Structure 1
């Protein structure tokens, strides 16, 4: 009997819960959807969304094509998002009118992405899809930015992988990486799992398909408008440590300044910390459980990337929600992460309100929330190392191709 049958929780229940969570998310953002922030409501009422200002800063109110048409001179960055995300914005601007309409169109697109993610998770792990459908992080951040598009593509890639469709999985990861960079990180655990299963060709096909899909989407813009296309990479390399990162806290505490200038040093340190910590965690898990599914490495890889990176934008917590269902279905750890993530949200924007003279919490409260969230995420990585793997993602059918005997990697 499948896990879905044993749980008694059907797809309808999952989707109903998801709909309620998204409705709550819309209610949270609704006070800010008109774009009238003259009273500081985006901070006072905790309804801030990147979608609202980016209609103007990305210069989408006319017919401008991202990358291909030049940006008008402006103090704000323009064309700073990857191709798929930029053209999702462009599509929303085409089918809407005004700031409120732009927000509504994007909310529709992002809701579709959330339902796709939930459906894929249900097909993979049944009732554990509730880790997404009932997530407070989803309610808070679903309509903050465009991350749900990449989340949907990455989760669909895992479903394709579980059904042994390696090329499709790679293509979906490549498209996801063309929306937000993080799905590219998942190529490693998926390819490594095929190697463990003595199917190295499958891993190679997946990796090439991911690279090919990313190139196919990006090459036309890179060739037609290289400077505009490169802006995303230039901007992210040059930006200082973001407020939500441990790097910012370290700089602030060591120097007393709220701006971290040694960007190149931080970039190098972030990469070294990420690679070193990932290798250490992989070694620890393999030593404890040699035959573990390398697919589940997706969870610690994403966590360690977020903790070591100089940018941990508020909505990045959405990346982790499917992986609680896939690799660490622990209600207690999930609840701890949800509370910590919500605390970062509240203290972050309350501090912004304080900076605007609207009354709010001090920077210290925000930094404390960031540290607590980091501690919770590290606890999740430790738990992933120590706990046995959860049940299989999908049950093999009677006609399925038999999986080869695993080999350690």
Structure 2
């Protein structure tokens, strides 16, 4: 390997001339994407004058995105009607695919008795900000474990998650920049919001991570760091966004803003975690202790050996031991991190921040010891920014929907074998889901290696979500002979 000299700014991304250019109107998907253009025939054809620069307010990106997001979350709430009406009980909640962590955790933990998220022997096994949010939602629900308490807690949680979904979509629109703000439709119209949005409180962490990314894109590094630190305190995966930022700052040699964001994120995480760690160290650290030594969970490729044993008729299929799952996941993830780091430094043009963040988070999902349905929500905003191509998203959504339906039937079989999905069919759906996500990864890698294939850069943009790194020249380029 050899280290190259700083490269000049990419063509078309130099400093502006003495006169500011006219604001560029948002680019409708039907003007840039053939799949979106063909699908638009159902609603009257490609965008015309109503989406022109002087369109009425209700036809502009943000009002449309808010309305569509609300509809998708409402559809998700309606899909939980069976459980909401009859209670979350096994196997009905799996057979009818209306399972949600919200009421189940509320009534199975100390929250329904008025206890806090940590202490008194209670631990939700969640990062502190998510645990605190679960406790706050419980303040408006009645005490007890009955159907009324479950329903009230779910309804209150659904309102909170609707707000989180709206924050996520608006943040994606802001991070995409004015020209590509319609790309947020890939989140607002994603069936993941309806399928998995109300399964857990993950969407709150996704909202914080997306807001942090938007603040960085708008060149507010301190605020971005504080919000990203809160995101890590809500869900651990946003730390990979900080890793992506550090890798790109290394290539660009622009550390001032990036260092501010990283330091602020660390400070925010410590401020949130310190009180819980000092007051209830044992309960607080439960979510960290659960990571090593975990058996392969639903959605993980490391569950396949157990599924094959069960398909062969073994009644006591154990699959890979927990220590092996941890070792394999750690080794493969470390190798993936190294490869992404080399890609960032070796690519002919500095990758965009959402591309690198998507590759890191997707790798953690593909190679981790578990890949639950709600983890796909982590990927939705990053995928929309990294790969704004409708065809690829439609394939991914189809695989996610098929897996969502199958995994609940497979889980139902643990208590009701006669209603179970066969392990070999579940394995097929699991592989289909992993393959669809791997396809997105390969397409993003291909666009990083060939920047002219990138839909964003084909518009003459550099990195709208890059903040201080947008249009920055390279300081470090690694060439592999």
Please state how far the C-alpha of 1:404 moved relative to its aligned partner: 4.2
Which residue in the other structure is 1:371 paired with?
A: 431
Tell me if 1:28 matches 2:79: yes
Cα distance between partner residues in 2 of 1:241 and 1:16:
39
Alignment partner of 1:60: what SS?
helix
Which residue does 1:145 correspond to in 2?
200
Decide whether the 8 Å contact of 2:233 with 2:269 is kept in 1. Answer: yes
How far 1:395 moved relative to its partner?
Answer: 9.1
Higher relative contact order, chain-length normalized (CA < 8 Å, sep 6+): 2
Show the counterpart of 1:5. Answer: 26
User: Which residue pairs with 2:383 in the alignment?
Assistant: 324
**1:8-19 correspondence runs (5 A):** 8=51, 9-19=60-70
Q: Counterpart of 2:225? A: 170
Whole-angstrom distance in 1 between the partners of 2:73 and 2:417: 32
Q: What is the match of residue 157 of structure 2?
A: 106
Q: Contact conserved, 1:190 with 1:295, CA < 8 A, in 2?
A: no
**Which residue number corresponds to residue 74 of structure 1?**
none
Which of 259, 270, 277 aligns to 2:318? It is: 259
| Whole-angstrom distance in 2 between the partners of 1:3 and 1:335 | 28
Q: Using the TM superposition, give the Cα deviation of residue 285 of structure 1 relative to its aligned residue in structure 2, in angstroms.
A: 5.8
SS of residue paired to 1:321: helix
Number of the residue aligned with 1:405 = 473
Q: Give the alignment's TM-score, normalised by structure 1.
A: 0.91
The Cα of 1:137 is off from its aligned counterpart by 1.2
Tell me, which stretches of 5 or more residues in structure 2 are unaligned?
1-21, 29-50, 52-59, 143-148
Q: Select 1:383's aligned residue among 439, 443, 447.
A: 443
1:141 and 1:318 in contact (8 A); partners too: yes
Deviations 1:355-379 (A, max 9, x none): 4145242111111111111111111
Matches of 1:130 and 1:288 in 2, distance apart? 29
**Match for 1:347 among 386, 400, 406?**
406
C-alpha separation between the residues in 2 aligned to 1:141 and 1:297?
A: 24
Q: Deviations over 1:125-181 (max 9, x none)?
A: 210101110001111000000111111111111111112222222211111111111
Paired with 1:180 and 1:259, the residues of 2 have a C-alpha distance of 29
CA distance in 1, matches of 2:348, 2:208: 29
- 1:326-346 per-residue CA deviation (whole Å, 9 max, x = no partner) reads 111121111111111111111
Give me the whole-angstrom Cα distance separating, in 1, the residues matched to 2:198 and 2:220: 31
Matched ranges for 1:70-81 at <5 A: 70-71=121-122, 78-81=123-126
Answering whether residue 128 of structure 2 is matched by residue 83 of structure 1, we say yes
TM-score (norm 2): 0.78
Deviation at 1:406, TM superposition (A): 3.3
Judging changes above 3 Å, is the alpha-carbon distance between structure 1 residues 341 and 182 closer, same or farther for their aligned structure 2 residues? Answer: same
Please tell me the root mean square deviation across aligned C-alpha atoms, in Å.
2.5
Aligned to 1:277: 336
- CA drift of 1:5 comes to 2.8
For 1:157 and 1:96, locate their aligned partners in 2 and report how far apart those are by CA, in whole Å: 30
Structure 1 runs (4+) greater than 6 angstroms displaced: none
3-state secondary structure, aligned to 1:236: coil
* 1:207 has 2:262 as partner: yes
1:247 and 1:310 in contact (8 A); partners too: yes
Counterpart in 2 of 1:62?
113
Say yes or no: does 1:48 pair with 2:99.
yes
Q: Distance in 2 between matches of 1:147 and 1:353?
A: 23
Aligned counterparts of 2:306 and 2:95: Cα–Cα separation in 1 = 27
Post-superposition offset of 1:241 = 0.8
Distance 1:302 1:403 in 2: 24
Structure 2 counterpart of 1:75: none
2:356 aligns to what?
297
Aligned with 1:93 (options 126, 130, 138): 138
Distance of 1:3 and 1:145 partners within structure 2: 39
